[in-house]
Amino acid sequence: MLAEYSGRAVVSTGRWLCIVLCLAFTSCHYSYLVETPGGQFQENRGQFEKMLELAEQGNSDAMYFLGLMYAIGDGTPQDDVRAYTWFNRAASRLADGRREDAVVRREAIAKRLTVDQRAKARRFDEQWLRDTGFVEER
């Protein structure tokens, strides 16, 4: 995280962004949780919308957190297909251990998906790439 530059330790901007996103997600994860009449939990949707906005701008950390949010239904209805697609997008952009974590989570969800759901996930990715103009990084 720290790099030596002209005798001073400098924290990279990318790492700060990751730290801020992690803290934002962690602090919001339970602080706004309320029980609905059906016994389910619904978190403040604002955090989900912020992550979605960042992910659509190409932020790989936000893509990873969207995968988590869809996987557990945090701020949005639980959706394994969308969780899989966001983990897949994050895995194609993250590096090192964070990439490995996204891959592990994606593969765990993939085990639960049917053939039709996997095809749907591929269509989501293809449409997203057309809409955003992003090129998959590997």
Q: What is the pLDDT of residue 105?
A: 95
Which of 50, 123, 55, 44 shows the shortest CA–CA distance to 87? 55
Total residue length of the chain: 138
**Chain segment 6-39, per-residue pLDDT in tens:** 444 444 445 445 544 554 544 444 333 434 433 3
Give a three-class secondary structure readout of the chain.
Answer: CEEEECCEEEECHHHHHHHHHHHHHHHHHHHCCEECCCCCEECCHHHHHHHHHHHHCCCHHHHHHHHHHHHHCCCCCCCHHHHHHHHHHHHCCCCHHHHHHHHHHHHHHHCCCCHHHHHHHHHHHHHHHHHHCCCCCC
Q: Decide which of 3 and 46 is more confident.
A: 46
Q: What is the pLDDT of residue 53?
A: 93
**Chain segment 53-90, per-residue pLDDT in tens:** 999 888 999 999 999 999 998 888 999 999 999 999 99
Q: What is the pLDDT of residue 134?
A: 65
Q: Which domains does the chain have, with CATH numbers?
A: 2-132 (1.25.40.10)
